[in-house]
Amino acid sequence: MPAGPSPPAQGQVRPLRGPGGPEIPALETYGPGGGLAAGQDRGCSDRRQRKGYAVDRLAGRVALVTGAASGIGAATARRLASEDAAVLVTDVQDDAGAHVAAEIIAGGGRAAYAHLDVTSQDDWEAAVAAVVREFGGLDILVNNAGIVDLAGIEDTSLADWRRTIEIGQTGVFLGMKTAAAALAASGHGSVINISSVFGASGGFGTSPAYHAAKGAVRTLTKNIALHWAGRGVRVNSVHPGFIDTPILDPVRGTPAEHAMTGLTPLGRLGQPAEVAAGVAYLASDDASFVTGLELYIDGGYMAR
């Protein structure tokens, strides 16, 4: 495990920020239990008692979650922290991301926030270095950041296509590439790439860049799962159906929203926490024989 700085006294504040990113509100990155070197006794049972959490599958593990200021990413950061992982919350929405990290800390968990635009290799290198320096390593990488395009192919500009692909596809490539060494050093590394039901279907015939990016994430996941199987790093994709997050705001109240619930056998939108539960499973040793999997959390959408 790389040598890190000595842990600060409890309550001491240690800010993180990415290159070129704005000043991030300073956060307490060390909660009760002291330092964060993997495998240390981190005062887990104390925190569990205080938080009322019964599960500590991720005790001693360190996670980095992208796009964690909102929706599925925020729910995932909270869920991983609730199972005793230390979590680096990252996003381009700095205030909202810092708020998620602060909430986790206030609840007795360990977290910090760092600015990470997933399209920036410099940001990735800084974030991976920060998580290793601050938390002692990296065991779990959740590539979650994403945006959606809505138009049909005729009305999709090249700039819009490139932007959606850059965030949803290239960002996942950069994340795994940059974190490769740290994940291999973990001994129980786990990558969870957030694809979509639209990564394995034609959806509504619109959003071509989104489908292309999510489909690429599906096969990239299997490719890296094979490449890293020999070094003990598992790589899986999660395919949410229609989940109630801000990404759906542009279609609220439109026929598209009704179509989403209508096409979902369970008859409702999913909740971010229901996706986060699947991510936590794949991150944990409960999934120790699972790699290259596509996990659909979609209310039955793909069973139609």
Query: Catalytic residue numbers?
Result: 210
Annotate each residue in 146-185 with x if it binds ligand NAD (CB under 6 A) or - if it does not, as one string.
xx-------------------x------------------
Q: At what angle do helices 171-186 and 208-228 cross, to 10 degrees?
A: 20
Assess 69 for contact with ligand NAD (CB under 6 A).
yes
Minimum gap (Å) between residue 277 Cβ and ligand NAD:
14
For ligand NAD, the closer CB: 13 or 151:
151
Determine the straight-line distance between the first and last CA of the chain, rounded to whole angstroms: 47
Sheet holding 86-91, edge to edge: 110-115, 86-91, 62-65, 140-143, 190-194, 234-240, 294-297
CA-CA-CA-CA dihedral for 39, 88, 273, 294, to nearest 10: -80
Q: Which residues ranging from 240 to 279 are in contact with ligand NAD (CB under 6 A)? A: 240, 242-243, 245-248
* Beta carbons within 8 Å of 147's beta carbon, 6+ residues apart: 163, 164, 167, 168, 247
Span interacting with ligand NAD, options 15-23, 26-34, 41-49, 143-151, rule CB under 6 A: 143-151
Smallest gap from residue 115 Cβ to ligand NAD (A): 9
Task: Indicate whether 196 belongs to the interface with ligand NAD (CB under 6 A).
Answer: yes
What are the beta bridge partners of residue 192?
142, 236
| Burial classification of residue 303, based on how many CB atoms lie within 10 Å of its CB (0-12 exposed, 13-18 middle, 19 or more buried) | exposed
Binding residues for ligand NAD, rule CB under 6 A, total: 28
Of 10 and 254, which CB lies nearer to ligand NAD in the complex structure?
254
In terms of CB distance, is 38 or 167 closer to ligand NAD?
167
Interface of this chain with ligand NAD, residues 78 to 117, rule: CB under 6 A:
91-93, 116-117
The C-alpha atoms of residue 73 and residue 68 are separated, in whole angstroms, by 4
Cα Rg of the chain, angstroms: 19
> Residues in the site for ligand NAD, rule: CB under 6 A?
66-67, 69-73, 91-93, 116-119, 144-147, 167, 194, 196, 240, 242-243, 245-248
